[in-house]
């Protein structure tokens, strides 16, 4: 697996690692540090692994690799490396910082708090440690309070409390207005430009769109079968992550959605990027306009925990107030978990399941109107990743699993499929074909988080063979707004990521 070191102990003299061994390992570590600084995190991980292979008794190497794993969103690996750093040197503060960061990304706030408590005990006058401890403590207390006051059986869904008639549109509002006959192509074109100009859609129309899309999505099965007719095509896009101006660039390259130009967006529309509201409203608008020709799959970031940490909830509250976030959550719960194209290609955000023998009918039967569980088919469709070796492995993310080429082949044979398309992972070229071409990853957020330097890509599928055709594109300029601008304050702290 990526980032795993040899278990061979380095040569020692009088119980200490040989000086030449240390020197060689340090040289490799310095190369890794340079790669990290250059944002080449995959190569940094490889070099840190090489340094660890030379000298596996350095807490620094494990902590540094943990940091690089965090940048690659390999939270499970990051947690494991930070724990190894702590096991080597229990007083190594960065090890606790890294492990706390990994715990936070996995929503394990109490465990993160325990690590910061350990840091504060060792460094009681460390201002940075105190700040992180205080912020983490606030999150834990907030979660406990929310749990204490929760009355889910009595609380009405936001969708049942919204009154559009009570939301008047001021005469001073100059933005797009939904016509009496409903959303049309003219409204969508105006909305795209309005958002490009960094202006907000009136909340009355935003609520109207959310109520309408909820009604549309709730009538769909968890696995949707879609047919692409002869002489037509389907464009499949991967993660967008709030990168609105790159979404607009896709539409410029490949034309706007229409009945003749259908799209499928494969999850992770929101979070991290700071125009997630604009992205999701445009996508919902086109789903409303072309319900049979515009498709959306739920990603692991269309969930409450992710939205609380990575910015979407903060962005919605900033732009529209807190009540709307509850409605977004309801809508996200109804997003389908997978699509099957012409009975040949299965599209899901994450990947295949941890258990053998899963059928397409099993996926159709998933009760999806909820927050994803920590295990099971729903969790796997959102979170799993492919691996190069056969069988299944522990998840590098700390959630679900990794699946090998044999797992993919058996699933395809059992269900009469040609291959799968998934997203969920940044790829330097915007896409990657694995498992002998049977597992294709597509990622459509170029220069992810303004730091990864990757290309974006989308797939064009044409009958009858549906062979994937890839179109790559570079990131475009956007207004000066940092990614994660609306994320939880803890996530924006120096040294966390």
> Three-class SS of residue 111?
helix
DSSP code for 170: P
CB 359 within 8 A of CB 414: yes
Closest CA to 272 of 450, 104, 143, 103: 450
* Chain-centroid distance, C-alpha 495: 21
In the block, which residue shows the tokens 């969508």?
Answer: 188
Helix axes 244-254, 185-196, angle to 10 degrees: 130
CB 348 within 8 A of CB 420: yes
Q: H or E stretch including 332? A: helix 322-333
Q: Could you write out the three-class secondary structure of 263-308?
A: EEECCCCCCCCCCHHHHHHHHHHHHHHCCCCEEECCCCCCCHHHHH
CB 256 within 8 A of CB 285: no
Here the tokens at position 432 are 């990657």
Closest CA to 246 of 39, 455, 57, 32: 455
Q: List the strands of the sheet with 385-386, edge to edge.
A: 385-386, 401-403, 392-394
* Chain-centroid distance, C-alpha 375: 17
**Catalytic residue chosen out of the listed positions 241, 295, 301, 424:** 301
- The residues facing 419 across adjacent strands are 345
Here the tokens at position 16 are 């200490």
Q: At 418, phi and psi to the nearest 5?
A: -90, -45
Q: H or E stretch including 329? A: helix 322-333
In the block, which residue shows the tokens 């040949």?
Answer: 344
Segments in 395-472 forming alpha helices (H): 405-415
Q: How far apart are CA 384 and CA 337, in angstroms?
A: 13
User: Would you tell me how many other CB atoms lie within 10 Å of the CB of residue 237?
Assistant: 24
Instruction: Give catalytic status of residue 301 as yes or no.
Output: yes
The set of residues, in sequence order, having a beta carbon less than 8 Å from that of 14 and lying 6+ positions away, is none
* Chain-centroid distance, C-alpha 308: 13
CB 354 within 8 A of CB 375: yes
- The residues facing 470 across adjacent strands are 459
Here the tokens at position 66 are 């943990």
Active site residues: 301
């Amino acid at each position: 697996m990526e980032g795993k070191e040899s278990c061979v102990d380095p040569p020692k003299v009088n119980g200490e690692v040989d000086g030449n061994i240390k020197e060689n390992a340090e040289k490799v570590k310095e190369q890794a540090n340079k790669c990290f600084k250059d944002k080449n995190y995959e190569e940094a991980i490889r070099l840190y692994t090489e340094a660890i292979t030379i000298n596996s008794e350095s807490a620094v190497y494990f902590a540094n690799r943990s940091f690089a794993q965090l940048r690659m969103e390999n939270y499970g690996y990051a947690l494991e490396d930070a724990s190894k750093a702590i096991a080597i040197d229990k007083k190594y503060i960065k090890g606790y910082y890294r492990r706390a960061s990994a715990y936070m990304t996995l929503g394990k706030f109490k465990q993160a708090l325990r690590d910061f408590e350990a840091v504060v005990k060792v460094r009681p006058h460390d201002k940075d440690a105190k700040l992180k401890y205080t912020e983490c403590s606030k999150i834990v207390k907030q979660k406990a309070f929310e749990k204490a006051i929760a009355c889910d059986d009595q609380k009405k869904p936001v969708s049942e409390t919204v009154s559009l008639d009570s939301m008047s549109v001021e005469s001073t509002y100059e933005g797009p207005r939904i016509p009496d006959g409903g959303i049309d192509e003219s409204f969508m074109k105006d909305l795209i430009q309005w958002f490009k100009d960094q202006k907000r859609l009136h909340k009355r129309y935003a609520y109207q769109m959310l109520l309408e899309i909820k009604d549309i999505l709730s009538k769909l099965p968890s696995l949707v079968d879609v047919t692409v007719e002869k002489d037509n095509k389907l464009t499949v896009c991967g993660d967008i992550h709030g990168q609105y101006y790159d979404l607009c660039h896709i539409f410029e390259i490949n034309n706007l959605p229409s009945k003749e130009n259908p799209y499928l967006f494969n999850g992770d529309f929101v979070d991290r990027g700071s125009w997630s509201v604009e992205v999701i409203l445009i996508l919902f608008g086109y789903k409303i306009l072309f319900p049979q020709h515009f498709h959306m799959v739920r990603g692991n970031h269309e969930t409450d925990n992710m939205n609380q940490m990575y910015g979407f909830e903060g962005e919605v509250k900033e732009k529209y107030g807190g009540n709307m976030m509850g409605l977004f959550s309801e809508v996200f719960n109804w997003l389908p978990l997978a699509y099957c194209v012409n009975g040949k290609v299965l599209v899901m955000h994450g990947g295949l399941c941890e258990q053998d023998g899963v059928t397409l009918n099993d996926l159709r039967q998933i009760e999806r109107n909820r927050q994803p569980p920590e295990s099971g088919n729903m969790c796997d469709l959102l979170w799993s990743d492919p691996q190069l070796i056969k069988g299944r492995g522990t998840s590098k993310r700390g959630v679900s699993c990794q699946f090998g080429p044999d797992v993919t082949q058996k699933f395809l044979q059992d269900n009469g499929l040609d291959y799968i398309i998934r997203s969920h992972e940044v790829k330097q070229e915007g896409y990657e074909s694995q498992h002998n071409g049977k597992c294709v990853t597509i990622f459509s957020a170029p220069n992810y988080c303004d730091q990864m330097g990757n290309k974006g890509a989308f797939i064009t599928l044409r009958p009858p063979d549906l062979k994937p055709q890839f179109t790559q594109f570079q990131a475009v300029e956007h207004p000066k707004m940092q990614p994660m601008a609306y994320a939880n304050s803890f996530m924006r702290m120096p040294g966390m990521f």
